[in-house]
Every structure is written in C-alpha cells, then in structure tokens.
Structure 1
Amino acid sequence: MGLRLGMKKFSLFICALMLFYGLEAFHIVGGEIEFITIEPGVYRINLIQYRDEAQQQNTDPDGSVTVYVYSNKDHRLVSTHLLPLSAVSDVFYTNPECSIEELKTSRVVYTSVVELEPARYADAEGYYIEWERCCRNVDIVNVENPRDTGMKYVVEIPPLWKNWKPFINSSPVLLKPLSDYACVNQLYYTNFTGTDPDGDSLVYRLVTPLNSSASDPAVPIPQPKPHIPVYWAEGYSLENTVPGNPPLRITSQGLLTVNPKTKGLYVFSVLVEEWRDQVKIGEVQRDFQMLVRDGCDPPDPPVVGIQIPGNDSFDPEVDVLTYALEDDKCFDFFVTNISVGEQITLRAVPVNFDEELDDLFSITQSFVNPGQDTLVVQVCAPGCPPIRDGPFIIDLIASDDACPLPQMDTARLTIVVEPPPNQFPDFTSLGSGYTINENEVLTLGFTATDADNDSLEMIMYVPGIEDPSELGLFVEVTRSENGLMEGTLTWDTNCQIYDFSSLKNFQLALLPEDFDICEVENPNVVWLNMGVILPPNTSPEVTLASDHVITARDGDVISFDVLATDLDQDTVNLSLQPLGFQGSGIGVSFAEASGVGSVNSLFQWEVDCSLLDLAEKRTYEFLFIAEDEDRCDEVNQDTVVFTVNLDIPENNRPEMREYADTVLKINVPFEMDISAFDFDAGDSVTIEFLNPSRLPRSESLFFERKTGLGEVTSTLYWTPECSLLDLGQESGFFEISFLAYDDACPVQKQYTMSITFEVRETQELFLGFEPPNVFTPNGDGHNDTYTLTNLTQPRQNLPPDNCDDAFQYISIHDRSGISVFRSEQRDFVWDGKNVPSGVYYYVIKYDQTQYKGFLQVLK
C-alpha cells in the first residue's frame, strides 16, 4: 500500500506541475525584444513581457529568461544571454475611469548589458535574437488550440561590423501596448507605434503570430528559422485576425484600427521594419492580445460645426476660408450633442503640413455644465500661415470622455491666409569656390542688405560637420544694423590645428537670414566649393617573410616577420586585423608596433584545432595594415592579406562494447564494467550516462563519468529497490543508455549503446536458505562468532529483502525459553560469550516468512 500511495502522489505532482506551467504561461499576453547599442562592443538586450494581472491564479514572473542569438547566414547558434528580471510596472488606461476588473496588465522587463566583439558578428545578412515560451491564454478565440500553442519573440538586427568598422544601430523601441478594451460595433483606434534611437524610418504591418518550437517543456529552447506560425482557428486569418467592418488593420505609420463585430479575446502580431537610406536593416515583432466586449453602449459622439462672421452660408466641405492681411481671422467653433458632466477636448491636427497648432483654440478642454447644450469656442487662424503660397488644411476635432475610447467628430478646413510681406536679403557674390594650399589663410569680405530693414545674421553650414570651426572656418561680423550686415569669412588651413585627413574637398553654405515677423527661412543659400591641397605623401609598404597563402595542419607552428617601411621617413604603425574572427581566441600572437621609417613584428600561430570551430571555418585570413603618420594625418596605408588553409583529417567516432540484456534481483548488489574505445591516435574518450534525467528512479544506481586516452572503462553499480516495481508486480524492464564521445577535431564524434535490465522479485531465494547450526566461540580465531551475512556459502546468508517480505529480527533462546540474543540488524554478530556450551534455538522473522532451528555452541 505504501508504494501505491507514493506512485499516486507522484502522478498528482506531475499533473500539478503541468497545470502550474500552463497557468504561468497563460499570464503572458504579449511582448517584444529590444537590442540597444551603448557603445561599440557593449550592448543592452531587453525582453519585455506584458502579463495579465486579472487572473485569480496569477504567479510571479520568472526570475530570469535566456535569449538565443542565431546567424541569418546559416542559422547557427552564435550566443546565448541570461537576462535577469529588472522591473515590473502597470500599464494604464487612456481614461482611468474606464478601467474594468478583467483587463489589468503589467509590463515586465528583463535586461542585461552584454559585451559582444563586433568582428565576430560580421555576417552581412545579420542576426536574429529569440525567446520562446509555452503556452497561450486558453480563452483566445482566433487561434487553434491555444492551450498547446506557444509564443516566440524575435528581433532582427544588422551585423555589428560593416565596412571594416563597427556598425552602430539600435532596434526600434515600441511605445505603450494596448491598455484599453474594444467594443462590438464601435471603432477602436490607437497608435501602436514606436521610436528609433538612430532616427531610422519605421514601417508597420500585421503578421501571423509565431508559435514556440515545442509545447513541452514549458520553456523550450528557441530553434532557428524557419519560424513556426500559429494555426488560425476556423474563420480567422491574417486578413481577418479580428473580424469587423473594417477588420483589424494597421497603417504603415502604426495607426491600429478595428470596428469589431464579435466579442472575444484575440491575439495579433505587428512587425515593425527598420529602414535606413532606403535599405531595410532590421525588424522587431510584437505580440499582443485584444479584448472585445459587448454591451458597452457609449454616448453619441459630439457634433461639430463652424460659424464664420458675416458668412452664414460657409460650407467647410466645399468652401475655402480666405483672409487678407488686415482681416480679423477668428471664427466660432461649436460643439453640440453633448451631455452634462462630459469633458470635451478640442485639438487641431495639421493635414498637409507639419507644424504645432497649440494656440489655435482659445480653450482646449471644458466640462459640460447643467443647462448647457452647446459649447462655443473661438478659433483664430495664424497670421503667419504655415504654407505661404497656397492653402493649408487643418482638422478641428472635438472628442468626449466616453469609455473605452473617446467618441469624436471632425471639421476639416481649407484656409488661405495672406502673409505679411517680406523680401529676402541680398548678398555679395563670393564666386563659386576656392582651393588653396595647406597652411594658407583665405579671407573674404561680404555685405548683406535687407529691403525691409530687418535685422540680419549670417548662418554657416557644412554638410556632415556639426561645427564648421572644426575645419578652420570662421565668420566675423564687423558691422550690424537694421537692414545691413558686413563682415569677413576666414578659412585657416593649418592641418596641425584642423583635421583635413578625410575631408579635403567639401561644400560650404552661407545664408544671410533676416528676422522678419513670420521667421520665414531665406531660400537663397550661397554654396561655395572649398578645397585644400595637402602636402605630398607616399603610402607605406607591408612585406611578409612568408608566402601569402599557405596550408597548415593541427600542431603546425606558423612564424614569420612582418615588415612595414615608409619612404617619407614618417612614423609608420603596423597592426593586424583578423577577418571575421578573434585572433587571440585561437592562439595567434602578434604585437602592434611603431617606428620611424620602418618597423617589424613577429607573427606566430601554433595551430590547435581544439580552439577552432572547423565545422564552421577552415580558412583563416589575417589583414596586416601599415599606416603612416604624416603632417596632416591623411590616411595612407598599405594592406596585405595572409591566408591559412587548414588541412585537418576527419575524425572517426569511438566504439563501445555491446552487452546482452541482463536480469537483476531486487535488493541484490550488481556490478558491470562498461568499456569504450577510440582508434584514432591521440584521441581521448569519455563514457557516461546518455540521459541522466531518463534513468530509473533509484538511489543505488551509480555510474562514474570517466575519460581515458584511447580506451576507458567504468563500472555500473546497482542494487535495485522495491520502489522500481508497482505493487504486486513481479518484474520490470528498464533500458539504460550510455554515451561515449571523443575530444578530437574537427568535429567531436559520439557513440551510444543501451542495455535492457529486467528487475525481478527474489522470492525463490527464501527457499534455499540453510543457516549454519554450530559455532565455536573459544578465541582461537576460527568460527568465533555467529553471523548470517558475508558468508562464503551463499545459501547460508540471510535471503535479501523482497518487496513483500523484509527481515525483522533474529532471536536466540535456551531450552527453558530464556532469550540469550536478539537483533534487528541484518548484519548482526553474536560472540556467544554470555552463554555456556550447549544447544540453543533460534527464530528468524521476516514480514511473512519465519525460520526456526537449533544452534550448537561449542567452547
């Protein structure tokens, strides 16, 4: 009964464990991964989870998560990173008064700063970072079998090394997730957008959510591409993720909208593409859930209108509102269909221009007071129009405070405003450009005038240069008054002060700007082509005391001198750049060096294939770089590529002896030697259990992991326990697998072998028990004690316990029944010193079996 109860408890534990993992996974409703560059070689990885905090069986977030980095080139695993839990915060509603108990979300952040060698992440196709988890919320309606459907978060990143230097980029940072619920037959809208730390362009689109690689275990190891999408439930698809009129959609700018027709919990996924210079460089995918409720019954939206003084027939849908310079540009904007207690919010949105319109409304927010059925607000068009030579369009929007999202109405106005007059400044012609020798100074005088007598300033700009003074460019104003400015442009080309090494020719923009009332930018930019002629300088030269391409084997030592010379007798610097790998990590030795006119350094590499990933790479290229330090720090260099092709023979797998299936007895000790061999010269071979987690649950099972050169043997020890058999079961079969593997290059090989053991009960051993019936405790060292263990005759030893019959005690008494010895230990020892010679009687008691007999003591 004890064993059966134990097995039942074990089964209940497994079920509880599965339920625990299931519930824990159901709490995750969305999230994404972020990859942020702190500086070249130092990066931050964030994994963000959004969790359902409304569940009654909620669990705490995991203490940490592990993300996996794969290469897009060949989908190999590059690295893994542990991210500890960092922060937990609430996601707030747009309108806190609209909160409901069934929608509470928290934001959980896991983060770590990691150091990555950019040159190791140089694959042109980039990399992807993954995290997986099982399972999704059981209440999701648009995914087939959500209980057994996992989730996968992925961020695609560009290479960290491009064009011989670190490539700086951070993935998009997505802003807040859905904090509100949607309602049946009501338009839902939100900006599901983000920002890019590098200023890259972001494009949004809906995609199918991703499934995990496996639903068991609860936290699977993320697998490389191809990614596995979820299966849509019947009637759902990417085009019909949330059914409605319209169904769920997202614009390329990130505006998410839907007018749902059925309630439910829906999962969806948004892909955010990152573009730079019209090239896609990365993407991040965010999963999330949308709750759609029925019976929300919001109030009717407000209704807006416009009243133009003196023009009662004005229709904003067809008419253009036109103002002369001297006109009063204010009109009434009125809001009707409002209720007492509502809060009305007003805002203006530019349509065909980008400019803030904060001062358009006289007020931007108002409560509806008792007796008030119309809200009237004054709107004044700007006296300085955002578009000077044509109409500008604005949307005047009034919204209420309805739940879950404000209801709104919009009036679109097309306006033409006559701008205040302004003439742009005139500027003295300075020619098309200038080229001068290094260390010369160029000085040019200029005059700028303004017909409107506006005050003036001179703006100087060089594309790509934040401060033109870095190139020795300076503007000095010698005379400044309304309508007039005089001054000089000076260019100092001393390369000992200013760096022209990478910018010998450039464009200089000069712009005289007037301070007119509307601050209209002067379009009349004067462009000058500027050039500096640097002193002549020859490039250094690199020479190798070796062939440029060689073949090497494991154990070879590659050693040669590298020489760099410079005919100008400049200081020359000699360095080494491994191409696509880390030289120090494979044992390469080369010291960077500097010298005047010439310099040399020793390259040395003892090829050790244990340090190499030969399955990935068998050709290693080393770039030697010589660069001189001339007066103007101009980049002059010579490079030589040294190539090593490795010739490493293939590795043969080790072998193991095969063993027949074996029968074991309960509680009977068993030993077996297990051997493995490797016939490749110099290989070590290791032997161990193949999968310890799948071994029989037995405390006595032991097999030591051992390693030997060419051959190894380890002993399996096992005394099978009754717990291995179910109640009433007489035998059971157990397969135990062993693993042998070598340490050779280029690819470690292995061999597996399994033995089936039948574990049987030992009832038959009780039938042959014949305990000895005499012993001589006379101190002569022969047969001086009486025991029933470790005797040379197996039939004389106590039978081993079996699952139903275990040893309890031995009792010895004299003819009168008086006890002279008793023990409950199987390994008892009686020395007989407390009794005289004679005949005594024993009882050996097991749970079910009993042995009686006599014992003669001779002294």
Structure 2
Amino acid sequence: MPFRLFPLRPAWPAVLLFLCTWLLLAGPAQATHIVGGEMELVHNTGDSYTLILNLYFDAANGSPSALDADLTASIFEKGSNQRVTNVLLPLTANTFVNYTNPACAKPTLSTRRLVYSKNITLPPGTYNNPQGYYVAVERCCRNNSINNIVSPNSAAQTFYLEFPAVVRRGQPFIDSTPRIFPPLADYACRDELFYYDFGGQDADGDSLVYDLVTPLNGSSNSNVPKPAAASAAPYSLITWLPPAPTIPGVPTRPPLSTLNQIPGSPTLNIDRNTGRLTVRPTDMGLFVFGVRCSEYRNGEKIGEARRDFQLMVLNCPTNAKPSMVLLPTPNSAAPYRPGRDTLRLVQGGNRCVRVRFTDPDPNSRLSLSLSAVNFTGLMPSFTTATSGAVRTPGAPDTLTATLCFPECINTQGRVFLLDVVVGDDGCSLPKRDTVRVAFTASPPANSLPTLVSTAGPPLPLRVRVGDLITFDVTGTDPDNDPIQLEMSGQGFNPTNLGATLSQGTVGNQQRGRFTWRVDCRAVGPDSVRNFQFTAATSPCNTRQAVTITVPIIVRYDNRPPTLASTLPRVVQPNTIPLVELPLGQTYTATFTGADVDRDGLTLSATGSTEDGSEGFDLAAAGMRFSAQNGVGVATGTFQWDVSCAAANLRRNLVVTFRLVDATCRPLPQEQRVRLLVKNPDTLAVKLYNIITPNRDGKNDEFRLPDLPPNFCESQFKSVQVFTRWGQQVFSSTDREFRWPGEGSAGVYYYFVTYTDGRRFRGWLEVVR
C-alpha cells in the first residue's frame, strides 16, 4: 500500500494529503470554494470614495452557483464597535487570475477574481472619530480541502479593512488604503523555494509595513453562510490544525501558528518592507495563510488591509538551479568574483563583459535580466541574445551574452551594484542564479561648445526706435554634440520686446539669426539692453553651456512740438484768455503745430467747463474744429458761430486745443480759450415807483422802459399790478406796456416775470 511511504514524513500530513486527494476527486461538497480576498477604499474626489472587495474563487473545483451577485459590507467605529452603516456591494467584475509562468498552469488550479464595488460618500460630519473606522464582510465557507486548519468545510472568512477619519483638526484628511497585489494563481513545489511579491502600492505615498496574521473566521457558518450584515469586532480566528501524534524516530515539527502557517524550511515568511513572500514547503496540500499590510503616515499608523489567501503545494519534477559567471573581458579566462571584484570602467576602456550561463536540466530555456540595487537612471544592456535553450539536441550546453555599460554612466566615485539574474522556465516558478556586480564608471571627457556672433565690433550696438537690427550667432561643439541656441535678457524677456532668434543646423554648426525691429517697448529707464545668447549641449544628460552678451543701447531723444495759434495772448500765467462776442458774429482761430523730430502730429479740440469738471459737445455750442494732421506739421481751424446755442448752455465754456506727437513718450502741447456770448443787458435795471395821471403829459403812465432786453431764452413774459390788498388791477404780456393808473390814488405793487424764471418786483404810488 502507498501508506508504507508515509513514515518518512510525519503521519498527519500524509493523512491530510490522502483526504485532500479524495475530496478533489469527490468534487465540491458544502464549501463555497472561496480562495481568499482583501478590501480597498479608494478616494475619488471630495467626500466620494469607492469601496471594493476583491474575492478569489476556486474556478476549477467551485460551483458557479456559489458565486454571489452581491455581498454586504458593514462599517463600524473602531473605538466603540458601533455600526455606522451597511453597504451592499454588487458584483462588478469577474476575471481569471494569470499564472506567473503560463507554461506551468495546472488544469486543477484555476482562480477567479470577483470584484464587488460601490461608490460611497463619507461626510466629514459623520466620519470624524479620531480612532478611525473598520469595514468587514463575512462569508462562509472555505475550501473543504484545506490542510492546515480545523474543519475547513465549516470555517468562515471575514474580510477586514481599517481606515482613518476623513477630517483631522478641522481639515480634510484624504487617504486611499493600500492596494495589495497581484493575486496569487501559482502553486508551490515541495522542498523548492517559493517566492511571490505581495507588495502593495499606496496612492498617497504612505509607508507600508507587512506581517503575517492568523486569518479571521468571524461569525458566519454553514447554516448562515451569507449574513445580511457583518457583526462587530472582535472576530474569532481560524483554528490551526494541532500537531500530529508523535511517532518514534520521526522529528517533531513545530505546531502551526501565526508565524508557522505553512510548514517549511524556512516556513512561510513575508519581508516587512517589500512584501516579498517566501517559503520552502515540506508538505503537500492546500494551506491557508493571512497577510496584513499596515499603513503609516508621519510615523503614525492610520489603517490596514488584510489579505486572506491559500497556497497549493504539489510534488513537482526536480528542477536544478541555473548558473552563471561573468568574464571581465572577452579574452579573460578569470571569472568575476562577486563580493571581491569591482569593475572599473574608465574613459576609452572596454565597457563590455561576457556572461556565460547554463543549466544542468535538459531542454531548459534560460533568460537573463538586470536589476539595479543602489542606483537609478541609466542601465547597462545586453547587446546579444539574452535567452535560449541549453542541452537540447543541436543546442549548446552553455550560452553566452555580452553586457555593455553605456559611456554616460557616471557613478561619481561611488560603487554601484547591479544584479545580473538568470532564470529558467521550471515550474512552478523559475529557479534563478544571481551575480551581483560592483562597478565604478566615469563618463568620457567633454569639451565646452564655442559661440561667436557677428554683432559688432564695436559694442555696444546703438539703435533708435524704428531701426531693424539683425546679426548671427553660431555655436560649434568640438565633440559634435547636438547644440541648442538660447536667447535671454538681463532683467527682461527679449520676446516681450519683439526680438526673435531663429536657428538651424548647418554641418556641425548651429546657426541663429537675431532679428529685432526696435519699438517703444524697448524705451525704459535703462537705456542699455543686455541680450544674452547661449550655446548649450547635454552630453550624458549633463548640461554644458557658454554664453555671450550683446549690449544694445536704445537711444531715445524726443523734443516737444510747438503749437502756435491766433488765440488771444495770455496776459497772466495760469489764466485763460477770454473771447466775448455778441450774437450773430463768427469767431475764427487758426493753429499750426510743428515738430523738429518729424514725429507724426495730431491736433484736437475738446470742450469743458472752466473748472474742467464737465465737458460739452462743440457742435451743440455752434463750434467746429477741423485739423490737417501730418508728419512734423499739423494745422487746424476753429470756428464759432455765436448764437443762442452757446448762451443757452449757461456755463463758462472752455475749449482746449491739444497737439500730440506720435512717439514713445509724447510731450503734448495745449492752448485754451474761454468763450462767452455777450449779453446786451449791460445797463442797470430801473424800476419806477410814482406816477401822476393828471393828463399833463408828464409822468401820466406806469411803464418800465429800462427792463433787461430779450436775450435767447430770457424773454419778457408778463407784468402784473396789485392793490395793497392783493387785488390785481392790471396785467400785460407786452414788453411796451402802459398803465394809466386807473383807480384811486395810493400805493400799488407790481411783478415782472421772464421766461428764464427771472422776476422783478417793486411798489408804485399813484398821486392824483
């Protein structure tokens, strides 16, 4: 019987192996064939997050009917275990997990990755507990063929995740939990080293620390495999299988535990910093294990993610490890000695080494790869084939490749370490041999480029506004490195002044053409503009540059134009001459502007009040101004037809004549004149106050011949005469009115009104 072989190893693994094989042949029982899983919480924007459960399912042995269309996640406060909410996670993806080496795929091992996810909102007013929160999903049951726990067919799983409050000290605290990946589809081989990268990524750049944990069991069971919601922590743990009975003569193995989840030498272990999982299993079977990834920010733990998973250990064909040696030079027979030798790559020396690699196994296919240990940036590369088969008919026993280091690698006096790795195509994972190469390297010497220009001599260049200036700059590099020409300015941007530098390659030269039409943008407090031209090269990504400076002086002298006119002369400084004319006349003034710099001249006229607080339209006041503008000379004519149009404005009207030279800093000239319509009302108003209507022809009637005359809008409107008791005895709208003083003698009162609102009043005594 095959059981006779089992005493070579502890009895309990043999029995478990038998049970495992029987269960696989018998097909699925009551278990759901959940392989494992982990949870994630991903920040989207604002208060929006995505809650994800990655669940792994045994696609080879599990029944599709065991797949859930949704699962419920429960969120709790970590400090009080108080439930906050339940989230129904629908199934959103269903894919297969790939093998690391597809050629090693086993039809009895197939894993699906089921993704349950939903967008949720975590408002700061709710999720602000400083102790944080946790999420749990409970589901039963595990694969019934697991070999390292008690009653696997009734053992449940609790998928667990911790995350921090979304607000701290009144400020948003954004966090996406670590993403542990990739999932595991591979199997391990008994007595062979198994390795896998369980390292995660963190979107926020938080530090991640890994350790092994006992998987969580929780409170679900075969009677209630899918609870409506998860229960609150603490969660029960799975129970490790106890040690097998002691057999005389057979070494006793340590009991299974958190630190001994899969029997092996070494047992299952995970690198604290990298998440690299390793084990050399000593027993066949299906083994469950748990990994925790803790998340730290500024030295404080803010969350954790757990992966519950399982690993199948099989008997595999023996696979020998490949081997490799490095020879320093193509003609050297002495191999490179890792840990003792250092390759020193010097300028002009040989920068390539030969790599010999082989494998004892027939039909083995080998591949080379490189991994930098303590440096980043430029990497060496293989210049010949990096893979091939050995020991097959027609194939050599030993393969060779050439590894070359780029000239630009610069270790800057340090010793760089490079791992040269050869791997085979053995199952389940490649066997590897690594040679760690220490090397120093310096880049080749490089000369600075040269740069010349055709600007000057003499320097500085002297230009005026309006000038077009051009010259060439030429860059040359003795090492024929590509050159780039650059233009800049000391304290200014040349392109903002309209300067350009076009360039092109001619032979081994880079030629640039500087072009600048000088305009007003160049006129400033500093008359000298220092243009800088640079020829730059980047040998081995190291910038080398030379710069020349071309000073350009922008000369700008502007003399003010002159303005002559026929306006009245200014008698006193800071006064405005007055032109006062009666209605019906026409006033004309002429203007002549001249500029010795021959700048363009513009004449204009604007109207305003005397204090300048308000303007008026010239045409509305009966005024016209025409100008003939030109280069160096401008003339203009002002004409005023004196009418009520100006008088009705009721203001002191001032016209400003302005001559402006078209240059960068104009020096305008102005002349002003005050215009007034002469009012004929120049006599004092005489109001009579006595009449003697005795018909002697002397002072018999009341009249007012000396009232102000009618003028534009000021017209005589009416006169009214009243008794001392307010009784009106006379009224007229005739300016030439006459009242003979009917009625009794005595004192009367009169009122005179004009259309512009002016009123005159007085008293009149009638003497008989």
- TM-score, normalisation: structure 1: 0.47
Question: 1:362, 1:377 within 8 Å by CA — same for their partners in 2?
Answer: yes
Give me the whole-angstrom Cα distance separating, in 2, the residues matched to 1:457 and 1:247: 63
Root mean square deviation of aligned Cα: 3.6
Distance 1:336 1:160, change over 3 A: same
Q: What is the CA-CA distance between 1:231 and the residue it aligns to?
A: 2.1
Give me the whole-angstrom Cα distance separating, in 1, the residues matched to 2:216 and 2:497: 59
Pick one of 373, 387, 395 that aligns with 2:419: 395
Pick one of 393, 397, 405 that aligns with 1:370: 393
The equivalent of 2:285 in structure 1 is: 264
The equivalent of 1:250 in structure 2 is: 270
Give me the whole-angstrom Cα distance separating, in 1, the residues matched to 2:39 and 2:422: 37
Give me the whole-angstrom Cα distance separating, in 2, the residues matched to 1:203 and 1:477: 57
The equivalent of 2:303 in structure 1 is: 282
The equivalent of 1:430 in structure 2 is: none
Distance 1:72 1:323, change over 3 A: same
Q: What is the CA-CA distance between 1:253 and the residue it aligns to?
A: 0.6
Question: 2:380, 2:403 within 8 Å by CA — same for their partners in 1?
Answer: no
Q: What is the CA-CA distance between 1:233 and the residue it aligns to?
A: 1.7
Bigger shift: 361-370 or 222-231? 361-370
The equivalent of 2:102 in structure 1 is: 96
Distance 1:516 1:26, change over 3 A: same
In structure 1, the gaps of 5 or more residues are: 1-21, 426-448, 461-473, 486-511, 523-859
Q: What is the CA-CA distance between 1:241 and the residue it aligns to?
A: 0.9
Q: What is the CA-CA distance between 1:483 and the residue it aligns to?
A: 12
Q: What is the CA-CA distance between 1:198 and the residue it aligns to?
A: 2.4
Q: What is the CA-CA distance between 1:338 and the residue it aligns to?
A: 5.2
The 5 A counterparts of 1:375-386 are: 375-385=399-409
In structure 2, the gaps of 5 or more residues are: 1-27, 243-254, 450-474, 489-495, 504-508, 513-533, 545-768
**Does residue 292 of the first structure (1) align with residue 313 of the second (2)?**
yes
Question: 2:214, 2:238 within 8 Å by CA — same for their partners in 1?
Answer: yes
**Does residue 415 of the first structure (1) align with residue 436 of the second (2)?**
no
The 5 A counterparts of 1:52-63 are: 52-55=58-61, 57-63=63-69
Q: What is the CA-CA distance between 1:334 and the residue it aligns to?
A: 0.9
Give me the whole-angstrom Cα distance separating, in 1, the residues matched to 2:497 and 2:260: 62
**Does residue 237 of the first structure (1) align with residue 257 of the second (2)?**
yes
Question: 1:355, 1:386 within 8 Å by CA — same for their partners in 2?
Answer: no
Pick one of 119, 129, 132 that aligns with 1:123: 129
Distance 1:378 1:457, change over 3 A: same
- TM-score, normalisation: structure 2: 0.53
**Does residue 309 of the first structure (1) align with residue 316 of the second (2)?**
no
Higher normalized contact order (CA 8 Å, seq sep 6+, divided by chain length): 2
Give me the whole-angstrom Cα distance separating, in 2, the residues matched to 1:229 and 1:356: 49
Q: What is the CA-CA distance between 1:398 and the residue it aligns to?
A: 1.0
Give me the whole-angstrom Cα distance separating, in 2, the residues matched to 1:144 and 1:124: 38
Distance 1:285 1:423, change over 3 A: farther
Distance 1:56 1:29, change over 3 A: closer
Question: 2:35, 2:310 within 8 Å by CA — same for their partners in 1?
Answer: yes
Q: What is the CA-CA distance between 1:423 and the residue it aligns to?
A: 9.2
Give me the whole-angstrom Cα distance separating, in 2, the residues matched to 1:78 and 1:327: 69
Q: What is the CA-CA distance between 1:23 and the residue it aligns to?
A: 4.7
The equivalent of 2:358 in structure 1 is: 336
SS in 1 for 2:50: strand
SS in 1 for 2:126: helix
Distance 1:518 1:278, change over 3 A: farther
Give me the whole-angstrom Cα distance separating, in 2, the residues matched to 1:403 and 1:143: 27
Give me the whole-angstrom Cα distance separating, in 2, the residues matched to 1:165 and 1:457: 48
Q: What is the CA-CA distance between 1:310 and the residue it aligns to?
A: 4.2
Q: What is the CA-CA distance between 1:78 and the residue it aligns to?
A: 0.6
Give me the whole-angstrom Cα distance separating, in 1, the residues matched to 2:205 and 2:502: 38
Give me the whole-angstrom Cα distance separating, in 1, the residues matched to 2:510 and 2:299: 44
Give 2:73's aligned amino acid: V
Question: 2:214, 2:290 within 8 Å by CA — same for their partners in 1?
Answer: yes
Q: What is the CA-CA distance between 1:520 and the residue it aligns to?
A: 4.0
Give 1:238's aligned amino acid: T
Question: 1:23, 1:58 within 8 Å by CA — same for their partners in 2?
Answer: no
Bigger shift: 198-207 or 63-72? 198-207
The equivalent of 1:320 in structure 2 is: 342
Give me the whole-angstrom Cα distance separating, in 1, the residues matched to 2:70 and 2:372: 45
Post-superposition Cα deviations, 1:263-300, rounded to whole Å, max 9, x if no partner, equal 11111111112223333222110110000112x12331
Question: 1:456, 1:480 within 8 Å by CA — same for their partners in 2?
Answer: no
Distance 1:263 1:355, change over 3 A: farther
Distance 1:515 1:155, change over 3 A: farther
Question: 1:45, 1:112 within 8 Å by CA — same for their partners in 2?
Answer: yes
Distance 1:402 1:43, change over 3 A: same
Distance 1:358 1:327, change over 3 A: closer
Bigger shift: 337-346 or 98-107? 337-346
Across the two proteins, how many residue pairs are aligned to each other?
Answer: 443
Question: 1:51, 1:105 within 8 Å by CA — same for their partners in 2?
Answer: yes
Distance 1:377 1:69, change over 3 A: same
SS in 2 for 1:229: coil
Question: 1:27, 1:58 within 8 Å by CA — same for their partners in 2?
Answer: no
**Does residue 347 of the first structure (1) align with residue 369 of the second (2)?**
yes
**Does residue 65 of the first structure (1) align with residue 71 of the second (2)?**
yes
Pick one of 273, 293, 296 that aligns with 2:294: 273
Q: What is the CA-CA distance between 1:160 and the residue it aligns to?
A: 1.5
The 5 A counterparts of 1:342-741 are: 342-355=364-377, 357=379, 359-368=381-390, 370-371=393-394, 372-385=396-409, 387-421=411-445, 515-520=537-542
Distance 1:196 1:24, change over 3 A: farther
Give me the whole-angstrom Cα distance separating, in 2, the residues matched to 1:103 and 1:88: 17
Pick one of 71, 80, 83 that aligns with 1:77: 83
The equivalent of 1:786 in structure 2 is: none
Question: 2:384, 2:401 within 8 Å by CA — same for their partners in 1?
Answer: yes
Give me the whole-angstrom Cα distance separating, in 1, the residues matched to 2:54 and 2:386: 35
Give me the whole-angstrom Cα distance separating, in 2, the residues matched to 1:450 and 1:257: 57
Q: What is the CA-CA distance between 1:521 and the residue it aligns to?
A: 7.7
The equivalent of 1:191 in structure 2 is: 197
SS in 2 for 1:147: helix
Question: 1:207, 1:238 within 8 Å by CA — same for their partners in 2?
Answer: yes
Give 1:297's aligned amino acid: P
SS in 2 for 1:119: coil
Give me the whole-angstrom Cα distance separating, in 1, the residues matched to 2:499 and 2:206: 38
Question: 1:208, 1:268 within 8 Å by CA — same for their partners in 2?
Answer: yes
Question: 2:323, 2:433 within 8 Å by CA — same for their partners in 1?
Answer: yes
Q: Could you say which structure has the larger radius of gyration?
A: 2
